[in-house]
Amino acid sequence: MSFENLPPILGDALAERGYTALTPVQAAVTGGDAEGRDLIVSAQTGSGKTVAFGLALAPEMLAQAAPSTDAEKPSALVIAPTRELALQVSRELGWLYAKAGLRIATCVGGMDASKERRALRSGPAIVVGTPGRLRDHLERGALDLSGLIGVVLDEADEMLDMGFREDLEEILDATPDRRRTLLFSATLPRPIVRMAERYQKDALRLSLAGESRGHGDIAYQAVTVAPSEIENAVVNLLRYHEAETAICFCATRDSVRRLHATLQNRGFAVVALSGEHSQSERNHAMQALRDRRARVCVATDVAARGLDLPTLSLVIHVEIPRDAETLQHRSGRTGRAGRKGTAAIVVPYNRRKRVESMLRGAQIVAEWTEAPSADAIRSQDRTRLLERLTAETEFEDEDLSLAKDLMERMSPADIAAALARAHRAKLPEPEELIANTPEARQKDKAERHRPGFEDTVWFKIDIGRKQNAEPRWLLPMICRRGHITRNEIGAIRIGQRESWFQIPRAIVPKFTDAVARTSQSEDAQDAIAIEESSDGPRIEARQNRKHGERNGFNRNGGDRSDGKGPGRKDGSRGRGKNKRGPIKKR
């Protein structure tokens, strides 16, 4: 295939990578109207933007003489929001310009800065990096931008969302006025437009995102579940689709940690990506996905930014995206380069209206459905096994010899049954989900009621959120004051200035007697009033429970009925900066 409008050296590189034609965004930036101009490009993720800006700068890059070994001034600078995206950009530009002999240096946080400085001194033609690390090299004098002919801001909207405005402005202010500035972004909010007006001249605006924000190669599903069944629904979605590679998006590091542990315990080959992981850990996780040693990735939005996995066909929004743009960026990890993908949004039944509003705003049509049942998954397993075993294949002599021996010892039916059992043994067991009906939810709630808590009494303690009250330090204090164990404490609900907890009626006399005796101690905690509450939690505690629904997979608000508090990984619910929650005497 010949690419008539491109330099032959780049056309050959594209052909070797399997390109038969340019994508729309690549064709647009290499067209006659775009030649030599600043560009504002709005295009969907997975549309070939990285190769596009490589091609857009090609005339100027190739016109310059190859940099000498002692040159210190790069010709092009590419800025990306995350390490993963910067490394991906570096790899893409590497093969695109390999035949031209242009070297590339990558500068990202988490890597050895001294090695990066040596790479910058060796005279790379292109520098790719994240804003913070590039600014650091610039301020230390290791990065000279005075020779730039082009600057690319990739995923510019995300960089502003992540708080990199000052870094970007300092970097751009250090570049020469004659440079070209190419701004690539999936969306073009007002801050991006203002930045373009400041740093670009007569920019050509190219919008290739289409009328709908939804990606044409992605099938969207909104999967309704009971709030307590989110993790089980994720397990069944992974099992039903059995995607070659899947990614599960969570909102926080703690959520990533919990879900990763859950899936690992269920038998999935899973890796995790979040801000708490080092660059080395991230690299190992990515390599495991590329090598097929892992098939599932659990990640936060920022950590997964820029992930490009050719085999990724399933995205699960474990926690609802904060807005339509986040939904778009998450989902855009699949359905790339013409491949089909599925994006499933796990929707607790009490959050449906919010998701419907988000989908309307994003102009995305989603199929509303329930999580796959265990029976549906077993049916899929049966179909996949039959397809795999009946597919045409060539067997080695050793396999045929073993099959002959088996036929002599076992009947064909027994051999087939043993094969099916061996296949099922490798697969994680699907979960039995609660039917998404009011009757089923009520029945499940009754069945999960803790034995011994059929008849309880509410007690009130005079500390609440104002004093940073948290279940993790309320529990031991209540146990010590009342001479009971944590298994004898039911639900805990935290209000603004007071908190409430349940005690089985049978042990109330013993509990109140112990509290009265311990309240005479000089300890500050023992002076906090604990008394029986005939009304139980007030309305403010119920409102606080609704507020707590945003945190973690446990959507039971302030309730504690399983021995663990909801929200954080340690069971805490505190909102103050001091996680231990200093106890104040009132």
Q: If residue 195 lies in a helix (H) or strand (E), which one and from where to where?
A: helix 190-199
Name the residue with higher pLDDT: 125 or 282.
Answer: 125
Cα distance between residue 437 and residue 326, in whole Å: 30
pLDDT at 222: 95
Angle between helices 352-362 and 324-331 (to 10 degrees): 80
Instruction: Tell me the two tokens of residue 512.
Output: 């109140």
Name the residue with higher pLDDT: 233 or 2.
Answer: 233
- Count Cβ atoms below 10 Å from residue 103 Cβ, excluding itself: 18
Q: If residue 559 lies in a helix (H) or strand (E), which one and from where to where?
A: none
Instruction: Tell me the two tokens of residue 109.
Output: 């946080």
Lowest mean pLDDT among 39-53, 79-93, 112-126, 307-321: 39-53
Cα distance between residue 233 and residue 223, in whole Å: 8
Q: Residue 69 pLDDT more than 90?
A: no
Exposure string for 505-522, b = 16+ CB within 10 A, e = fewer:
eebbeebbebbeebeeee
Distance set, CA 506 to CA 78, 452, 503, 509, 530 (Å):
69, 9, 8, 8, 18
Lowest mean pLDDT among 60-64, 103-107, 171-175: 60-64
User: What value does the mean pLDDT of the chain take?
Assistant: 81
- What's the rounded mean pLDDT across residues 33-62? 84
Residue 46's pLDDT band, with cuts at 50, 70 and 90, is: low
Tens digit of each residue's pLDDT (9 = 90 or more) over 341-382: 899 999 998 889 999 999 988 888 999 999 999 999 999 999
pLDDT at 278: 79
What residue ranges in 17-59 does DSSP mark as E strands?
39-42
Lowest mean pLDDT among 17-31, 332-346, 355-369, 501-515: 332-346
pTM for this prediction: 0.59
- What's the rounded mean pLDDT across residues 122-146? 92
Question: What is the DSSP annotation of 144-171?
Answer: --TT-SEEEETTHHHHHHTT-HHHHHHH
- Count Cβ atoms below 10 Å from residue 284 Cβ, excluding itself: 15
DSSP single-letter state for residue 87: H
Q: Residue 570 pLDDT more than 50?
A: no
Q: If residue 274 lies in a helix (H) or strand (E), which one and from where to where?
A: none
Name the residue with higher pLDDT: 98 or 4.
Answer: 98
Question: What is the DSSP annotation of 399-454?
Answer: HHHHHHHHHHHS-HHHHHHHHHHHHHHTSPPPP-PPPSSHHHHHHHHHHTSPTT-S
pLDDT at 575: 35
| Amino acid residing at 292 | R
What residue ranges in 121-244 does DSSP mark as E strands?
126-129, 150-153, 180-185, 204-207, 218-225
Please give the share of the chain, as a percent, with pLDDT higher than 90: 29
Instruction: Tell me the two tokens of residue 50.
Output: 């990285």
Specify whether the CB–CB gap between 222 and 366 falls below 8 A.
yes
Phi, psi values for residue 289, rounded to 5°: -70, -40
Burial of residue 59 (number of CB atoms within 10 Å: 0-12, 13-18, 19+): middle
Domains and CATH numbers, the chain: 8-207 (3.40.50.300), 218-376 (3.40.50.300), 450-548 (3.30.70.330)
Tens digit of each residue's pLDDT (9 = 90 or more) over 440-463: 666 666 655 667 777 888 999 988
Cα distance between residue 548 and residue 565, in whole Å: 11
Partner residues linked to 41 by β-bridges: 184, 206
Partner residues linked to 223 by β-bridges: 346, 369
Q: Residue 539 pLDDT more than 90?
A: no
Tens digit of each residue's pLDDT (9 = 90 or more) over 320-332: 988 887 888 788 7
Name the residue with higher pLDDT: 83 or 120.
Answer: 120
Residue 394's pLDDT band, with cuts at 50, 70 and 90, is: confident
Cα distance between residue 259 and residue 265, in whole Å: 10
- What's the rounded mean pLDDT across residues 12-34? 86
Identify the CA nearest to 300 among candidates 275, 283, 332. Answer: 275
Name the residue with higher pLDDT: 43 or 511.
Answer: 511
